[in-house]
Amino acid sequence: MKKHEIVIIGGGTGGITVASQLLRKDSKLDIAIIDPADKHIYQPAWTLVGAGTYDLEKTIRSEASVMPEGVTWIKEFASDIQPDENKVVLKSGDEIAYGYLVVAPGIQMDMDGIPGLKEAMGKGGVCSNYVDPEYTWKVLQEFKGGNALFTQPATPIKCGGAPQKIMYLAADHFKKIGVADKTNIIYATPGSVIFGVKDFAKTLMKVVNRHGIVLKYFHKLERIDPDEKKAYYRLTATDDSQCISVNDDNGHIGEEIVGDAMMAIKYDMLHLAPPQSAPDFIKECKLAHQEGPNKGWMNIDINTLQSPDYANVFGLGDAAALPTAKTGAAIRKQAPVVVENLLHVMKNEGQLNPGYDGYSSCPLVTGYGKMVLAEFGYGNKRMSDPLISKFVDTTKEQWSMWMLKKYGLPFMYWDLMLKGKA
């Protein structure tokens, strides 16, 4: 069995960033990354691809090109982790032993999680920036009016803001192509607010009202019928007073009651985020929470990012059970904590740094040329980048933040973060 001092599962945002940072600290470290992917994708720009304002090709590079020099790339799927034996089992049946392990395999799209979704996706106006943003753009371009339904599942998802960012861009686009007057834009969410942090929710409600978007809270998507072009929702509010519906004048969107606490909304286009969960091999291994609301997600201390049961194992990114938004921005703050603490454990240097405070950020694009930069930490506590907040009020829609999203952040990702410099 081959052995590496440090094995990283996943060569995405988290895995590559951690490997690069480790090598910058000590270029002699023996690091292997397990990842079967040919391509590495800058996913945050898929929102812009879906709105026709960014080229898909610019979001994709070869995995080989982002692999840090000096790392051994094992181009395979991990299929099991056996932490008691310090080894990872590969799909091929081979085993890789490790001294220390970093787990960062991202999140899994569960296309079977909603009946009808798999059949509906990618045709008949059913699109997702999480799956194929170029099809989203095609749908927006060809839209002739009617119900434009935007929605999201009740599971955790990566970049929780993405399902509404594309809606605001679509609203702008519908105005531009002259179909806004004959369009109902609907946002149906299982949540009870437009955004969890008040300062940003206030601004987003202004955007919602500017476009006359119909907001439907406590709507849990249960089924899609692509033949009837209807999305079926269970209403989850425990009492009627919670059933607030914003900008819905006398039910003009034509929703129907179809059973006890069930509603059907007809759509002419539908954008959604598929249900998501931790990759199956994580769910099934000992490193995952075995019970409770985090069941199946990687179990790590929310501040040190170390496994509570295995001192030589750390985790970060979308697969981890951290009570904050799953974003690349969060990983930017998680990676240095993983690196510092991993080196600490390797050198037997006592106390770990409980330095990760849940920081995450969501660049909420609210239209072409407009963005609100929402930054927050554990408990939805608002946070601000000290440099940016010196110059701009990030709770307001800003052209400068749009420029940051379209040009600044991709540069920061490819040239700084993946190289371990930011």
Ligand X SMILES: Cc1cc2nc3c(=O)[nH]c(=O)nc-3n(C[C@H](O)[C@H](O)[C@H](O)COP(=O)(O)OP(=O)(O)OC[C@H]3O[C@@H](n4cnc5c(N)ncnc54)[C@H](O)[C@@H]3O)c2cc1C
Which residue in the shown chain puts its C-beta closest to ligand X?
Answer: 12
Can residue 35 be called a binding residue for ligand X (CB under 6 A)?
yes
Nearer to ligand X, 68 or 105 (CB): 105
Can residue 105 be called a binding residue for ligand X (CB under 6 A)?
yes
Catalytic annotation, pick one of 127, 159, 243, 285: 159
Nearer to ligand X, 129 or 395 (CB): 129
Helices (H), 274-316: 280-283
* Closest C-alpha to 101, from 173, 8, 25, 238: 8
Can residue 420 be called a binding residue for ligand X (CB under 6 A)?
no
Q: Taking CA 247 as the corner, what is the angle to CA 271 and CA 210, rounded to the nearest 5 degrees?
A: 80
Catalytic annotation, pick one of 127, 243, 285, 362: 362
β-bridge mates for residue 276, sequence order: 109
Q: Mark 353-372 with x for binding to ligand X (rule: CB under 6 A) and - for no binding.
A: ----------x---------
* Closest C-alpha to 173, from 137, 119, 124: 137
Retrieve residue 201's tokens. Answer: 């929710």
User: Which residues have a Cβ under 8 Å from the Cβ of 291 and sit 6 or more positions away?
Assistant: none
Can residue 299 be called a binding residue for ligand X (CB under 6 A)?
no
Give the separation between CA 80 and CA 366, rounded to whole angstroms.
41
Closest distance to ligand X from the beta carbon of 35 (Å): 4
Nearer to ligand X, 105 or 226 (CB): 105
Q: Could you give the C-alpha distances from 293 to 4, 33, 297, 314, 316, in angstroms and in order?
A: 34, 30, 9, 20, 18
**Interacting residues with ligand X between 225 and 244 (CB under 6 A):** none
Provide the 3-class DSSP secondary structure of residue 14. helix
Which region among 36-44, 210-218, 263-271, 385-393 touches ligand X (by CB under 6 A)?
36-44
Can residue 153 be called a binding residue for ligand X (CB under 6 A)?
no
User: Which residues have a Cβ under 8 Å from the Cβ of 111 and sit 6 or more positions away?
Assistant: 117, 118, 121, 274
Can residue 13 be called a binding residue for ligand X (CB under 6 A)?
yes
As a whole number of angstroms, the longest Cα–Cα distance in the chain is 68
Q: Mark 59-98 with x for binding to ligand X (rule: CB under 6 A) and - for no binding.
A: ------------------xx--------------------
Q: Under rule CB under 6 A, how many of the chain's residues touch ligand X?
A: 35
**Interacting residues with ligand X between 41 and 60 (CB under 6 A):** 43-44, 46-47
Can residue 326 be called a binding residue for ligand X (CB under 6 A)?
yes
Nearer to ligand X, 146 or 279 (CB): 279
Q: Could you give the C-alpha distances from 163 to 77, 78, 190, 365, 401, in angstroms and in order?
A: 29, 30, 12, 11, 19
Q: Is 243 a catalytic residue?
A: no
Closest distance to ligand X from the beta carbon of 260 (Å): 34
Closest distance to ligand X from the beta carbon of 290 (Å): 20
Nearer to ligand X, 263 or 278 (CB): 278
- The dihedral formed by the CA atoms of 63, 64, 66 and 72, expressed in degrees to the nearest 10: 110
User: Which residues have a Cβ under 8 Å from the Cβ of 53 and sit 6 or more positions away?
Assistant: 169, 368, 406
Contact criterion met (CB below 8 Å) for 64 and 102: no
Nearer to ligand X, 159 or 383 (CB): 159
Q: Is 285 a catalytic residue?
A: no
Can residue 168 be called a binding residue for ligand X (CB under 6 A)?
no
Give the separation between CA 150 and CA 162, rounded to whole angstroms.
11
CA 99 to chain centre: 30
Nearer to ligand X, 172 or 318 (CB): 318
The residues assigned a catalytic role are 159, 362
Interacting residues toward ligand X by CB under 6 A: 9-15, 34-37, 43-44, 46-47, 77-78, 104-106, 129-130, 158-159, 162, 279, 281, 317-318, 326-329, 331, 363
